[in-house]
C-alpha cells in the first residue's frame, strides 16, 4: 500500500444513484458511467476509498439558511417535487445530497489530517449553483462550500482557493463566500449564459473585495484560451494568495461536444487544467487538493475526463485515450478578457495583495 502522503482518496456511495429523474440531463447514469470507466481503467484500485457520512445539520446550516434545509428535507419526505423547472427533488434526494456534501467534507478532513495527499468526490447531486437560501440549476446543497466551511471551522484554515471550471458560473459558491477573504473563488464560465452571473466586475464585497475572480468567456473559447487564463490569471492569483488548501468544482460541460453549452475544450484541454491545479497544489500547499463533480452531459466525455482527472491526482505522466480529439472549430481569442481580469485584480503589480479596495 502507498504511504498516506502519496495516497489519492475517493468517496462514493450507491445512494448517490437514488437521486434520479428519468430523462433529466442530471441523472444517475452520469455517475454510473463514471464508475464503470474508473473500474475498467483500474483506477479505483489505485485509490483509497473513504466512505462518506452525511454532513451534519450544523455544517449544512453554517452554509445554507436553516429554513431552506428543513424545507428541502420535508419536500423529499413528501415524495419530492421541483425547486424550479430544472431542479428536481425525489424521495431520497435530500439524503443523497446530505451524503454527497458529507463525502466532500470527509475528503477534506482526510487530506488535512495527512491521511491522503489529495482526493476526488464521486458524488451527486452537484452543488455549485445552490445559494444560501435555496437550490437551483440541478443543485440542492452546495457541496464544495460546505466542505470549505468545514475546513475553515474545524481545521482553522484562513486561505482556501476554490477553482470552478464548470461551463456554468458557480453563483452559489460565489454568493456564500462573497464577503470573506478566507476563500478566494476563481471561475471560468460561458457568459452570458445560465445563471446569468459571473461578470468580471463581480469581485466580492466588504472584507471579501478582491477575493472573487470571474473570467467570463464568450462561446468558442477552447484549449489555448484556457491555457492562457490558467497561466496568466489563475497562477499569479494563487501564488499571491498562497492557499492552504485548493478545492475544485469540476464540471466537464465545457467540452466541445457537450450538448448543453458552447465552449470548445477537448479532453487534452481538461488534462491541461488538471495538471495545472495539481502543480499549484504541490507548489503552494503540500499537494492538498480536493475535487468534487459538478456538470458534464456527454456521458462518454464525462467518464473519460474524470478518469484523466484521477490520473492527474495520482501523478500519472499521461492521460488516457481521447476518441473525440480537438475541437473541429477555430477558437476565439481571450486576450481582452485576460487583460480585463488582470487589471481588475491588479495582477500587473506582483506586490499587490489578493484583496484590494
Q: Which residues pair with 353 in a beta bridge?
A: none
128 cis-preceded (ω within 30 degrees of 0): no
| 172 CB-near residues (< 8 Å, 6+ apart) | 127, 128, 129, 130, 131, 132, 136, 139, 142, 145
Average the pLDDT over 89-97 and give the result.
98
pLDDT band at 349 (very low <50, low <70, confident <90, very high): low
Task: Using the CB atoms, write b or e for 45-60: b if 16+ within 10 Å.
Answer: ebbbebebebbeeebb
**Domain residue ranges in the chain:** 4-344
pLDDT band at 348 (very low <50, low <70, confident <90, very high): confident
Tens of pLDDT, residues 110-150? 999 999 999 999 999 999 999 999 999 999 999 999 999 99
How far apart CA 1 and CA 3 sit, in angstroms, is: 6
How far apart CA 291 and CA 116 sit, in angstroms, is: 13
How far apart CA 320 and CA 340 sit, in angstroms, is: 35
Q: Determine the topology of domain 4-344 in CATH.
A: 3.40.800
pLDDT higher than threshold 80 for residue 357: no
Assess contact for 282 and 232: CB atoms under 8 A: no
Q: Using alpha carbons only, what angle is made at residue 319 by residues 315 and 323, rounded to the nearest 5 degrees?
A: 165
In the chain, what percentage of residues exceed pLDDT 70?
96
Assess contact for 103 and 10: CB atoms under 8 A: no
Catalytic residue ranges: 129
Assess contact for 220 and 332: CB atoms under 8 A: yes
Average the pLDDT over 273-280 and give the result.
98
- Edge-to-edge strands of the sheet including 289-293? 48-49, 8-11, 118-121, 289-293, 245-250, 160-164, 183-190, 212-217
Tens of pLDDT, residues 145-183? 999 999 999 999 999 999 999 999 999 999 999 999 999
Average the pLDDT over 71-85 and give the result.
98
pLDDT higher than threshold 80 for residue 6: no
Assess contact for 263 and 167: CB atoms under 8 A: yes
Assess contact for 213 and 185: CB atoms under 8 A: yes
Task: Using the CB atoms, write b or e for 297-326: b if 16+ within 10 Å.
Answer: bbeebbbbbbbbbbbbbbeeeebbebebeb
Assess contact for 50 and 9: CB atoms under 8 A: yes
How far apart CA 39 and CA 191 sit, in angstroms, is: 36
pLDDT higher than threshold 50 for residue 4: no
Amino acid at each position: 500500500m502507498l504511504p498516506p502522503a502519496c495516497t489519492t482518496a475517493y468517496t462514493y456511495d450507491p445512494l448517490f444513484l437514488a437521486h434520479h429523474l428519468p430523462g433529466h440531463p442530471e441523472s444517475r447514469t452520469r455517475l454510473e458511467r463514471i464508475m464503470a470507466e474508473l473500474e475498467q481503467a483500474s483506477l479505483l484500485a489505485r485509490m483509497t476509498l473513504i466512505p462518506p457520512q452525511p454532513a451534519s445539520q450544523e455544517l449544512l446550516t453554517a452554509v445554507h439558511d436553516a429554513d431552506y434545509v428543513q424545507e428541502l428535507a420535508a419536500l423529499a419526505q413528501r415524495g419530492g417535487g421541483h425547486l424550479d423547472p430544472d431542479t428536481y427533488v425525489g424521495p431520497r434526494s435530500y439524503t443523497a445530497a446530505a451524503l454527497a456534501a458529507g463525502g466532500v467534507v470527509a475528503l477534506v478532513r482526510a487530506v488535512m489530517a495527512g491521511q491522503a495527499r489529495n482526493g476526488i468526490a464521486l458524488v451527486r447531486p452537484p452543488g455549485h449553483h445552490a445559494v444560501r437560501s435555496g437550490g437551483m440549476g440541478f443543485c440542492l446543497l452546495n457541496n464544495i462550500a460546505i466542505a470549505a466551511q468545514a475546513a475553515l471551522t474545524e481545521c482553522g484554515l484562513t486561505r482556501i482557493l476554490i477553482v470552478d471550471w464548470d461551463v456554468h458560473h458557480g453563483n452559489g459558491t460565489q454568493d456564500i463566500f462573497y464577503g470573506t477573504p478566507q476563500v478566494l473563488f476563481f471561475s471560468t464560465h460561458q457568459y452570458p449564459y445560465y445563471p446569468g452571473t459571473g461578470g468580471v466586475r463581480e469581485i466580492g464585497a466588504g472584507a471579501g473585495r478582491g477575493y472573487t475572480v470571474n473570467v467570463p468567456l464568450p462561446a468558442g473559447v477552447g484549449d489555448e484560451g484556457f491555457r492562457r487564463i490558467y497561466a496568466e490569471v489563475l497562477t499569479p492569483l494563487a501564488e499571491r494568495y498562497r492557499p492552504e488548501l485548493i478545492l475544485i468544482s469540476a464540471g466537464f460541460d465545457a467540452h466541445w461536444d457537450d450538448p448543453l453549452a458552447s465552449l470548445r475544450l477537448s479532453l487534452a484541454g481538461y488534462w491541461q487544467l488538471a495538471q495545472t491545479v495539481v502543480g499549484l497544489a504541490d507548489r503552494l500547499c503540500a499537494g492538498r487538493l480536493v475535487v468534487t463533480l459538478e456538470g458534464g452531459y456527454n456521458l462518454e466525455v464525462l467518464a473519460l475526463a474524470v478518469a484523466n482527472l484521477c490520473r492527474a491526482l495520482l501523478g500519472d505522466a499521461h492521460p488516457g485515450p481521447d476518441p473525440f480529439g480537438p475541437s473541429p472549430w477555430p477558437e476565439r481569442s481571450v486576450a481582452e478578457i485576460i487583460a480585463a481580469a488582470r487589471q481588475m485584480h491588479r495582477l500587473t503589480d506582483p506586490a499587490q495583495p489578493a484583496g484590494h479596495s
